[in-house]
């Protein structure tokens, strides 16, 4: 990120220098037009030239200066627009590289990058037509059973991950704001269907689609999933201790 940000800074500096050169060229021509007009008025006026002939010569010099100034200003504005577009592209590249390096799914990265562009140009969010066999969004009963038997599923509290199905919607929503996205995907990968329904029911349609797609592509063994579920359970229990959520009555 440091390298990309440094490169972007120097690109913006170079573009600003080029814009200043073009803008200065236009202001110089405007100044030349004004000086030429004054010189024409002074020299030709003293020679007896007057009326429309004098006005024509004075106005012609000024007209050329104004036209070239306007042309250079238009070119300067176009360079500034091009600079803004290239800077935006560079920032989007930086953001996407950092998100991919952190392990985000490309669809999630697309959602994050959409804020860089105007609303009418943003992707619709509709899932692309499947190019291969669709990933199942239903819980894998064998994987769920294997995760439940894994020693890593044991938590530091009496609250277990499967108990999340009995949490209130308000508590689930509060937990979703605190749980890391990657942990949530890993935990739901081997979660019972009741837990999935509870979590998915408190997500927006777009986020739910992204999470389901990540679950379909995630490759993880039962031990890893059980560890993630235990981490989420401990986190939910900690939120309950802080009074941010309410545990089911049996666990309160």
pTM recorded for the entire structure: 0.47
Cα–Cα distance measured from residue 85 to residue 90, given in angstroms and rounded to the nearest whole number: 9
Tens digits of residue pLDDT in 46-93: 565 666 777 777 888 888 889 999 999 999 999 988 988 888 888 888
Domain ranges of the chain: 2-121, 141-251
Cα–Cα distance measured from residue 179 to residue 103, given in angstroms and rounded to the nearest whole number: 16
Tens digits of residue pLDDT in 112-150: 888 887 777 776 655 555 444 344 455 677 787 887 777
Provide Rg for the chain, Cα atoms.
Answer: 33
Q: What is the DSSP letter of 249?
A: G
Tokens of 86: 């290239």
| CATH class of the domain defined by 141-251 | mainly alpha
């Amino acid at each position: 990120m440091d390298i990309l940000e440094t490169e972007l800074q120097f690109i913006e500096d170079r573009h600003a220098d080029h814009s200043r050169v073009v803008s200065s060229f236009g202001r110089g021509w405007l100044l030349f037009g004004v000086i030429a007009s004054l010189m024409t008025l002074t020299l030709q006026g003293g020679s007896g030239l007057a009326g429309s002939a004098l006005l024509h010569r004075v106005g012609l010099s000024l007209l050329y200066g104004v036209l070239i100034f306007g042309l250079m200003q238009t070119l300067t504005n176009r360079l500034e627009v091009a600079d803004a577009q290239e800077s935006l592209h560079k920032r989007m590249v930086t953001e996407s590289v950092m998100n991919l390096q952190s392990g985000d799914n490309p669809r999630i990265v697309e959602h994050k990058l959409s804020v860089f562009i105007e609303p009418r140009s943003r992707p619709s969010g509709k899932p692309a037509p499947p190019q291969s066999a669709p990933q199942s969004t239903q819980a894998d009963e064998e994987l769920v059973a294997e995760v439940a038997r894994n020693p890593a599923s044991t938590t530091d509290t009496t609250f277990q991950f499967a108990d999340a199905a009995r949490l209130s919607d308000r508590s689930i929503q509060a937990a979703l704001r605190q749980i890391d996205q990657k942990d949530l995907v890993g935990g739901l990968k081997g979660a019972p269907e009741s837990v999935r329904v509870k979590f998915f029911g408190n997500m927006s349609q777009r986020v739910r689609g992204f999470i389901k797609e990540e679950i379909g592509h995630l490759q993880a063994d039962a031990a890893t999933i059980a560890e993630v579920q235990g981490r989420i359970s401990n986190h939910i229990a900690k939120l309950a201790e802080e009074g941010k959520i309410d545990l089911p009555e049996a666990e309160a």
